[in-house]
Structure 1
Amino acid sequence: MTVQHEPDNWRKSSRSQNGSACVEVGSFGDGAAIRDTKDRAAGYFTADRDQWSAFVAAIKGGRFDA
């Protein structure tokens, strides 16, 4: 059994403002962990490599643009 530990390499986009309305991403196994900077104590959710790649591709493709 492999035990996953909380990521220690959290990062946010260099394009984000100095406010706290951002998300942070950290490496987690072979995927990613994602958390809200407004409430870090609330925890994080994880996505495996394929899920994370699909999510990033959707963002880059404009799928979530307003």
Structure 2
Amino acid sequence: MSENIAIPEAPVNEPVTIINAFSMPPQEAERFLELWQDNAAAMSAPRWSDHQPPYRAASVVGPSRAG
């Protein structure tokens, strides 16, 4: 599903690596990395099919946007 899109103003014609810098207390670094890896795995998982909703209500109380 990845598609290359030409951007006339782009100064390069090859892939670019973007680095996100994070600051946190050292004692939270391991937990941050665990969560980061979990999120990366979830985002790279196969997409939901048409018959499965992409999300569910977190609570039975209140309005739901699933439909």
Higher RCO, 1 or 2 (CA under 8 Å, sep at least 6)? 1
Asked whether the two chains share a fold, i.e. TM above 0.5, the reply is no
Which one has the bigger strand percentage?
Answer: 1
Structure with the greater alpha carbon radius of gyration: 2
When the two structures are superposed, what TM-score results if normalisation uses the length of structure 2?
A: 0.28
